[in-house]
Structure 1
Amino acid sequence: MSQVATISVQPLAPAGVAFLATLLAAAAGLPVGLDTGLIAEALGDIGQAFHASYRVQEWIVSVLMIGAAAGSLGAGAVSYRFGRRRTLLLAMLLVGAGAYLCLSASGVGQIIAGRLLIGVAVGTCAFTAPLYIAELATGDMRGRMVSIFSMLQSIGILAGYLVGGLCSAGGHWRWMVAFPLLPAALLFAAYFLLPESPAWLAARGRADAARRVLLRVRDDPARVDAELAAMAAERTRDRVGGFALLRRQPNFRRSVALGIGLQMFQQLGGINVVMYYAPRILEGAHADPAMAVWATVLVGGVNALVGLLAVFAVSRWGRRPLLVVSCALMAGAMLAAAAIVATDPPGAGVPVGLIAALLIFVAGFGLGAGPLVWTLCSEIQPLEGREFGVATSTLASWCGDWVVSNTFLSIVAVVGLPRAFIGYGVVNVLFILFTLRFVPETKGVPMEAIEAHLMAGEPLRRIGCPT
C-alpha cells in the first residue's frame, strides 16, 4: 500500500508577517519613483509632440507637486477616517487613472490633468506608507523599513530611466507615461492582503482587532499588552483635532516645525533638479543627447544602489551622523559642479566631470537625506497629532519640490547654471547646521519614549535619548 507524503506548511513567524506587511507598504515608493524617472526622459519628446515651451514643460513636471501637496493635505483625514490600508488602495487607483489620461492625451492639458491625479496619489503614498510602517513595525525594524520605502522610490526612478532610455530612440513617450499602470495594478491587488494599522484600530475603539493584528506581528504577548495599554492610555486623553492641538500645545508646535524644516531642506537642496532635469543639464553642458540619456540612467543606478546601502546604514550608524555626512556630500558635489561648469574645460571635461559631481550628489542624498527625513518625520510626532504632523511635513516636502521643479529652468536662464548650483550647495551647508542644532537621534527608541521626551519639554535634539 503506497503512502502519500504530506507537506506541512508552517505559518510565518510574527516578525516575518510584520516584515512582509511593511515591505508591501514600502512598495508604494515604486510608482512614486517610477513617475520621476519616466517624466525626466519623456519630457523632451512631449515638448516636441505638442510644441511646448520651457515654461510649459516646467508646469508638466511641477503640476505633480501641486497634486502631491493636495494629496498630503487630504491623506491625513482620509487615513484617519478609512484607515491606512484603504488609503493606499485609493492611491493605486489614482495612479492608474492618471497614467491612462497621460497615455490617451490629445494635448498638453490632458497630460497635466493626468499628472495632477498621479500627484495626488504620490502625496497620499508619501504620507500614508511611512506612517503605516512606523505604526506596524517594531522600533528596531522601523528605521530600516521606512528606508526601504525610500530605496524602492530609488529603484522606481531607475526603472523609469531605463524604460525611458529604451523608448527614447523611437520617441515612444506614450509607452513611458503608461508604464505606471503595471505596478499600480499589482500593488492594488496586494494591498488587500495587508493588516490594518493597530494604532488606527485602537484609536477607533477597536481594541480587539488591534490585539489580533499585534499578535500577528509581535513575538512577545507581553509586548502586545504593553503596546495596547499605551494606546488605551492615549485614548483616555482629552483628544482634540490636530490644528487645535497645534494651537494648544507648544511642544507639538516644535515637532511640527522640525518636520517642516527637515522636508524643506531636503527639497530645496536640489535633489529634484537632478532627478527631473538631468538630461537637460547635461545637454546644456554640451553632452551628446545619447550620452545625456544613459548618464541619467547611471544617476538612477547610483541612487538605487546607495538607497540599498542606506537600509543597513540607518540602523547601524544612526540618524544624525548619516544626515550630516549626506548633506556634506551633497553640498560638496553641488559646489564642485558649479566650478566644473564655470571653468568650461575643453573637450569632454564638462560632461564627464559634471556627471561625476551629479553622481556624488545623488549618492549623498540616497545615503541619508532621502530616507532619513521621511523616517524622522514619522517618528517625532506624538500619537494624538501624528496624522496632522506627518501631513504638514509631507505638504512642506511637496511645496519645496514644486518651488524647485517649477523654477529651475527659469533660474538657469537668468543667473546661469554655475550660480544655480552654488545656491543649492549653500542650502545643503545650512542643512548641516540645522541638523546639528535641532535633529534628534531616534535609532531604536520607542515612539512612545520620543513622545514623552518631546512633551516633557526636552530640547528637540535630545528627544530621542536625552541626557
Structure 2
Amino acid sequence: MTKQAINGGEAQTTRVVYLAAFVIALGGLLFGYNATVIAGAILFIKIQFSLSPFLEETVIGASLVGALIGAALGGTLADRFGRRQILFVIAVIFFLGAFASALAPNLVSVAIGRGMVGVAIGMVSVVATLYLAEIAPDRVRGRLIGIYMTANMVGVVCGYLVELAFDTSGNWRWMLGFPAIIAVPFAIGVRALPETPRWCVCNNRLDHARAALRRLHDTHNVEEQMGRIQADVGTQVGSWAGLLRKDVRPALIIGIGLGILQRVTGISIAFFYGPTIFGFAGMETVSLDILAGVGVGMALLVGQFASMLLVDHVGRRPLLLWGYAGMVCGLVPLGLAFATGGESLLIQGMAVGGVMLLAGAWAAGPASVTFLLIAELYPQQIRGPAMSVATMAIWASFLLVTFSFLTIMEKFGPAITFWSYALLAGFALVAVFFGVPETKGKSLEEISSSLKRQN
C-alpha cells in the first residue's frame, strides 16, 4: 500500500484516500457538465418548443433554483444520515434528472428534469467537499479537494465539447441525458467508500470511526485522532442553532463573505459574455458561442489544475490573493478594450486576453479555494449546516448576477460594467488580506479552535 512519510501522529495518505478522492471527483464532473451543457442545449430546446425569452430563462433558471434548494438541504441531510449515504442519493438524483430531461415529452418535463439536476448540483457542492475534508490527512486536504474541483472544470470543458459534437444534429436530448452514464459508476463507487470518522464520532459510532480511520490511514494508532475529534465534538452545540453561537460567528461571516465574493466579482462575464468578446476579436462562425465556451473552459481548467498543485504548498490565502489580483488585471484591460473600440489587433487581443485571464485567475483562486475553506472553517457538529449556508450564498449570488448582468450591461455599457467588477475584485482582495485566516497544514479541530480563540 502506498503511503507518504509523515511525522508524529499525523494521518497517512493511503490508496483508499486517493480512491475516495477520484470517486468523489465523478460528482465534480457531473456538477461541471450539467452546469454548462444547458447553454448549448437551450438553443435547440428553444426552437423545438418555440420558447419566449421568459420561458427560456425559466428552463435555464430551473437548475439554479434547484441548486439553491439542494445547497440548503445538503448539509442537514448529510448530518442526519451520513455523508456517504447522501452522496449515493445525489448520484441517484443526477441519474433520474438526466434521464427525465432526455426523455421529456414537453417543456414542463424538461424544467422538472433540470430542476432535479439542479438539486443534485447544489447538494454535491456541499457534501462532496464536506466528505473529502473529513477524510483527508491535514497536509494534503487541499490537493484532494483540488482533484474534485479539477474534475468540475473538466466537466465544464466536456459540456462544451459535447455541445460542439451535437451542434449539427441539434440533439439536445443526448446532451442532457449523457450524465446518466457517469452517475452509475459514481453511485457504485460511493457505496464502496467508508463513512467519515468525524461523522461516526459525532453520532456516537466509535467503533465505526476507529475502523474508518484504520482503513483510510492504514494505522492501528488511532486513539490520538479519536481524542482530538471527540474533544472538538464535545464542546459544540449541534444543529442549526449552533450557527448563532458567538464563537462560530467569525467563521460563518468569513464563509458567507467568500461565497458572495466568489460570484459577484465578474466571472459571469466569462460565462455569459465570452462569445460576444470572441466575436469582438473578429471570430465569426456558426458555432461561435460553443467555441468561445471551449476557450473559457480550457482557461478554467488550467487555472484549477495550477491551484490543485499549489494549494498545499503555498497556502489558501496566497491563492485567493493572486486569484483576485489576476481578475482585476483581466477586467481592467477588458473594460478598456470595449471603451476604445475594436479597430486594432492590440485592442482585440486585450479583450480576449482579459476574459481568459479572468477565467483562469478565478479558477486558480476564488473558485477552488472558497469551497475548500468553507469545508475547513467550521466545528464538527455545525459543519453541515454552516457549509449549507455558505454554499447557499454562492448560489444565491449566482442567481442574482445571472438575472441582473445583462440589464446592467444594457444600462451602463460593457466598459463601466467591467470596471465595476474590477472594483469589486479589488475589494475582495483587501477583504481576504485582512479577514481570511490561513488553514494550510492544520487539522480541522485546530482551525476551529484557532477561530474561537480569535473571537
TM-score, length-normalised on structure 1?
Answer: 0.89
Whether 1:230 and 2:228 are equivalent positions in the alignment is yes
Whether 1:361 and 2:339 are equivalent positions in the alignment is no
Q: Measure how far apart 1:352 and its partner are.
A: 4.9
Whether 1:456 and 2:434 are equivalent positions in the alignment is no
Q: Measure how far apart 1:178 and its partner are.
A: 1.4
SS at match of 1:171: coil
Question: Which region of structure 1 is more displaced relative to structure 2, 37-46 or 422-431?
Answer: 37-46
Q: State the alpha-carbon separation in 2 of the partners of residues 407 and 52 from structure 1.
A: 21
Q: State the alpha-carbon separation in 1 of the partners of residues 112 and 292 from structure 2.
A: 30
Query: 1:417-432 to 2 correspondence within 5 Å?
Result: 417-432=414-429
Judged with a 3 Å threshold, the aligned counterparts in structure 2 of structure 1 residues 339 and 56 are, in CA distance, closer, same or farther, namely farther
Q: State the alpha-carbon separation in 2 of the partners of residues 61 and 274 from structure 1.
A: 17
Structure 1, residues 133-175: CA drift from partner, whole Å, max 9, x if none? 0100010110111111111110000000111111112222222
Indicate the residue corresponding to 2:390 in structure 1. Answer: 393
Q: Measure how far apart 1:40 and its partner are.
A: 2.2
Whether 1:264 and 2:254 are equivalent positions in the alignment is no
SS at match of 2:22: helix
Question: Which region of structure 1 is more displaced relative to structure 2, 444-453 or 338-347?
Answer: 338-347
SS at match of 1:251: coil
The one of 311, 335, 338 equivalent to 2:335 is 338
Indicate the residue corresponding to 2:306 in structure 1. Answer: 309
Indicate the residue corresponding to 2:192 in structure 1. Answer: 193
Q: Measure how far apart 1:421 and its partner are.
A: 2.0
Q: Measure how far apart 1:272 and its partner are.
A: 3.8
Structure 1 residue runs without a partner (length 5+): 1-9, 459-467
Q: Which amino acid aligns with 2:130?
A: L
Q: State the alpha-carbon separation in 1 of the partners of residues 52 and 341 from structure 2.
A: 27
Indicate the residue corresponding to 2:179 in structure 1. Answer: 180
Q: State the alpha-carbon separation in 2 of the partners of residues 242 and 424 from structure 1.
A: 36
Q: CA RMSD in A?
A: 2.2
The one of 303, 320, 324 equivalent to 1:327 is 324
Q: Measure how far apart 1:132 and its partner are.
A: 0.5
Indicate the residue corresponding to 2:103 in structure 1. Answer: 104
Aligned residues with identical type, % of pairs: 28
SS at match of 2:132: helix
Query: 1:208-247 to 2 correspondence within 5 Å?
Result: 208-222=207-221, 224-237=222-235, 239-247=236-244
Structure 1, residues 247-291: CA drift from partner, whole Å, max 9, x if none? 3x2120111111000010001123244235533654577742434
SS at match of 2:437: coil
Q: Measure how far apart 1:235 and its partner are.
A: 4.3
Residues 153 and 300 in structure 2, CA contact (< 8 A), matched pair in contact too: yes
SS at match of 2:169: coil
Judged with a 3 Å threshold, the aligned counterparts in structure 2 of structure 1 residues 321 and 153 are, in CA distance, closer, same or farther, namely same
Q: Measure how far apart 1:111 and its partner are.
A: 2.2
SS at match of 2:14: helix
Q: Which amino acid aligns with 1:370?
A: A
Q: Which amino acid aligns with 1:82?
A: F
Judged with a 3 Å threshold, the aligned counterparts in structure 2 of structure 1 residues 379 and 212 are, in CA distance, closer, same or farther, namely same
Residues 71 and 119 in structure 1, CA contact (< 8 A), matched pair in contact too: yes
Q: Which amino acid aligns with 1:171?
A: G
Q: Measure how far apart 1:353 and its partner are.
A: 4.0
Indicate the residue corresponding to 2:8 in structure 1. Answer: none
Residues 36 and 275 in structure 1, CA contact (< 8 A), matched pair in contact too: no
SS at match of 1:168: coil
Residues 326 and 365 in structure 1, CA contact (< 8 A), matched pair in contact too: yes
Judged with a 3 Å threshold, the aligned counterparts in structure 2 of structure 1 residues 277 and 118 are, in CA distance, closer, same or farther, namely farther
Query: 1:163-174 to 2 correspondence within 5 Å?
Result: 163-174=162-173
Q: State the alpha-carbon separation in 2 of the partners of residues 46 and 347 from structure 1.
A: 37
Judged with a 3 Å threshold, the aligned counterparts in structure 2 of structure 1 residues 62 and 122 are, in CA distance, closer, same or farther, namely same
Indicate the residue corresponding to 2:156 in structure 1. Answer: 157
Residues 61 and 276 in structure 1, CA contact (< 8 A), matched pair in contact too: no
Q: Which amino acid aligns with 1:228?
A: M
Q: Which amino acid aligns with 1:16?
A: R
Indicate the residue corresponding to 2:292 in structure 1. Answer: 295
Structure 2 residue runs without a partner (length 5+): 4-11
Residues 37 and 275 in structure 1, CA contact (< 8 A), matched pair in contact too: no
SS at match of 1:87: helix
Q: State the alpha-carbon separation in 1 of the partners of residues 437 and 328 from structure 2.
A: 21
Number of equivalenced pairs: 446
Q: State the alpha-carbon separation in 1 of the partners of residues 48 and 265 from structure 2.
A: 32
Structure 1, residues 419-453: CA drift from partner, whole Å, max 9, x if none? 33223222211110110110111111111111111
Indicate the residue corresponding to 1:6 in structure 2. Answer: none
Q: Which amino acid aligns with 2:391?
A: T
Q: State the alpha-carbon separation in 2 of the partners of residues 453 and 14 from structure 1.
A: 25
Q: State the alpha-carbon separation in 1 of the partners of residues 251 and 432 from structure 2.
A: 14
Q: Which amino acid aligns with 1:229?
A: G
Q: Measure how far apart 1:117 and its partner are.
A: 0.8
Q: Which amino acid aligns with 1:185?
A: V
Q: State the alpha-carbon separation in 1 of the partners of residues 333 and 129 from structure 2.
A: 33
Q: State the alpha-carbon separation in 1 of the partners of residues 424 and 71 from structure 2.
A: 24
Q: Measure how far apart 1:355 and its partner are.
A: 2.5
SS at match of 1:443: coil
Whether 1:68 and 2:67 are equivalent positions in the alignment is yes
Judged with a 3 Å threshold, the aligned counterparts in structure 2 of structure 1 residues 114 and 40 are, in CA distance, closer, same or farther, namely same
Q: State the alpha-carbon separation in 1 of the partners of residues 111 and 62 from structure 2.
A: 7
Question: Which region of structure 1 is more displaced relative to structure 2, 368-377 or 286-295?
Answer: 286-295
Q: State the alpha-carbon separation in 1 of the partners of residues 188 and 97 from structure 2.
A: 18
Residues 263 and 373 in structure 1, CA contact (< 8 A), matched pair in contact too: yes
Structure 1, residues 321-340: CA drift from partner, whole Å, max 9, x if none? 11111101112212222221
Q: State the alpha-carbon separation in 2 of the partners of residues 396 and 326 from structure 1.
A: 20
Indicate the residue corresponding to 1:370 in structure 2. Answer: 367
Judged with a 3 Å threshold, the aligned counterparts in structure 2 of structure 1 residues 126 and 18 are, in CA distance, closer, same or farther, namely same
Residues 31 and 152 in structure 2, CA contact (< 8 A), matched pair in contact too: yes
Judged with a 3 Å threshold, the aligned counterparts in structure 2 of structure 1 residues 405 and 285 are, in CA distance, closer, same or farther, namely farther
Q: State the alpha-carbon separation in 2 of the partners of residues 318 and 233 from structure 1.
A: 26
SS at match of 1:441: coil
Whether 1:40 and 2:36 are equivalent positions in the alignment is no
